[in-house]
Amino acid sequence: MSTESAAVVAQRRRDSRQDQITLLRGSAIIALGYGLGAALQSTYVYANLVPAWQMVPLGSRLAANGIAVAVLIAVLAAVRAHRARRWWSRILVVLVAAAAAGFARYVAQLAFGVYDEPTEATRDAEVLSGFLLGVVSAGIGMWALSTRQIARVRTRAATRDAVHVELAVKALEQEEIRVRRAVAEGLHGTLQSKLILVDARLGEVLASADRLDPADADSLAWVRRELDEARDIDVRQMSRLLYPDRLELGLVPALRALLGRLPASIATRLTVSDAVRTLDDPTGSSLTVSERLLAVRVVEEAVSNALKHGPASSVAVTLDVVQDVLHVSVRNDGALYVPETAGLPSGTARLQTRLSLVGGRLSLTPGSEKGAHLEAWLPLGAGLA
């Protein structure tokens, strides 16, 4: 038997045991309550209305009802009533157990001297009352059992759905990373190579510019300059947006590369806690690529906002880990962020949605005196992005 099969069998045994305890405990508590109440009531009524029964002790009635409860529980346990699945089989075992309890109650009453020579009406009344006591008690026990089983099924279904969602998110993350890497490599490799070949061909054509019309030569020179700029700037920047530089080396190297591309007029500071350095150790990083990518996206969004709504003269990034949650904090000293007049932060909203899918959250608030403060909390340890 495999480990998984053994675990399933063990879980089923635990469930069956808990179902049995629920049924027997619920039935016993209700039956004991009914039995005690019936004994007290009958003793009081008979003692006041039937002088001949004044000498019947309360203990005898309690003992008879106690035996009825014991028989009820014993029959439910013996027939494994908790394993009944169909409604008619549950009704059947309840009726059988209740009938046994009612008969046992009457016999115990005779044995304990509650009745010496009971009439048929008395016998029928006692047996029927004991039977009804058993039906009500076992029925409530069955109801408690059914409620427990339904709740268990729903809980496990919800758990399975949550696991399926998590697996789907992981699969999408891995596919996104694969596509990002492939497109980035294609831009950096294939597209740049083609642009280089086109640039070389234009160079050959311009080398024989004496045979060209001056206006055409100027146009070709302009096209060459534009292609060269697109190759060196646009293509490389798009490649970095799709898959940040040094991401494979770790989160900290990727953030350093990102901050290093900012204009020299903007001072940058990257503060990394020891806990993050331990997790992001290049020799054995505990952070997944998807976790690093999402953290870098948070910083990119904050930097983009600082450049767009600045001018900011400084950007401070702080990384920390608290209780398996990566905390990313980015502050800038640009124009004060005012939520009422800043408009809809579309990029931040998309990032918030992305974080919420993996159990994280995002917060964009004004700085203490100026600028803005973007914070993100990303749960770690589950391969999230």
pLDDT per residue as tens digits for the range 103-131:
888 888 788 777 777 777 877 777 888 88
**Residue 41 or 69, more confident:** 69
How far apart are alpha carbons 275 and 287 in whole angstroms?
A: 12
Q: Backbone phi, then psi, for 346, in 5-degree steps?
A: -60, -45
Task: Give the pTM.
Answer: 0.50
Q: What is the pLDDT of residues 344-371, one digit of tens each?
A: 566 788 888 888 888 889 998 888 888 8
| 207-242 confidence digits (pLDDT tens) | 776 666 777 777 777 877 777 766 665 555 665 556
Q: How confident is the model at residue 375 (pLDDT cuts 50, 70, 90)?
A: very high
Residue-level pLDDT at 348: 82
The single-letter code of the amino acid at 106 is: Y
- Pick the range with the lowest mean pLDDT from 46-50, 86-90, 328-332, 360-364: 46-50
pLDDT number for residue 122: 75
The answer to whether the bond into 263 is cis (omega within 30° of 0) is no
Backbone angles phi, psi at 325, to 5 degrees: -125, 125
Whether the per-residue pLDDT at 134 is higher than 60: the answer is yes
135-150 pLDDT, tens digit each: 888 888 889 888 888 8
pLDDT(316) > 90: yes
**Structure confidence at residue 10 as a pLDDT band (50, 70, 90):** confident
Q: What is the mean pLDDT of the chain?
A: 77
Q: How confident is the model over 295-317, as a mean pLDDT? A: 84
- How far, in Å, CA of 120 to CA of 271, rounded? 92
